[in-house]
Structure 1
């Protein structure tokens, strides 16, 4: 008999949970903080800019594992919305940076996300919270392993 913690059964259970979990946290956080409806890809792009500073569009594409045309479309939309600025970089390069407005939205999103998760975690028993805490290092390693592929 196959163990529920072996690769295939675990993957079949984990995969379908990840998307709905992330979307629910994002939606509830937006509602809690009255934030604009920023798509998750925009939030991820802003997070990279907030954490690492200005980046080239190709650097963003590589970092986020997105196609360059996808990044171009994101940047066009985000520039129009006042979320990113583009400035000349070295040579013909362009440096993309998050605007102050975008950084404030990201700060509010992060605070609302933490409150949303704290509230939900409060509905779980101590054993479930301990299991989630114990799983965090494994989830970090899973993310790294997915990046290695």
Structure 2
């Protein structure tokens, strides 16, 4: 490793570069771990359906535009994902009581059941992966990941 003082590299930039690398690796290893896990529960939902169902379970029924804004996705992308989820019986649509032209999306019992199975499998997996970590380290990781996700979510989207 080089000494940042002799290369003229800003230590803050070095740290940001390390963060960028670690986040890229986290996404890569997370997906590889999900695909490489032998249990069926991990494959009950694709990543998009899982995230949508988790959000709907926490926030309640949403219209497509609110869901897209919350997940920082384009409305047409969310609409396509929801159409596939509706075909699979994971979500239901109902008229939006505040806007007669729109619809509100909510999880079905089957969708919630699949989501819960995936969540339980992932929780067990991370329990195994982090088994040697102290409870304080696990808590710190959870807090920092939450802060990172909040910062990513609140970042303005380019138009």
TM-score (norm 2): 0.77
2:20 pairs with 1:12: yes
The answer for unaligned runs of 5 or more in structure 1 is none
What is the CA distance between 1:88 and its match in structure 2?
Answer: 1.1
State the structure with more CA Rg: 2
Contact 1:25 1:116 survives alignment (8 Å) = no
1:142 corresponds, among 129, 145, 148, to 148
Contact 1:28 1:116 survives alignment (8 Å) = no
Pairwise CA RMSD: 2.5
Contact 1:87 1:94 survives alignment (8 Å) = yes
Bigger RCO (CA 8 Å, 6+ sep): 1
Question: Structure 1 stretches (4+) deviating beyond 4 angstroms?
Answer: 2-6, 129-132
The residue that corresponds to 1:71 in the other structure is 78
TM-score (norm 1): 0.82
The answer for unaligned runs of 5 or more in structure 2 is 5-9
The residue that corresponds to 1:88 in the other structure is 95
Correspondence list, 1:119-130, <5 A: 119-122=128-131, 124=132, 126=133
Distance 1:34 1:144, change over 3 A: closer
Contact 1:88 1:95 survives alignment (8 Å) = yes
2:60 corresponds, among 53, 56, 77, to 53
Out of 53-62 and 36-45, give the one that drifted further: 36-45
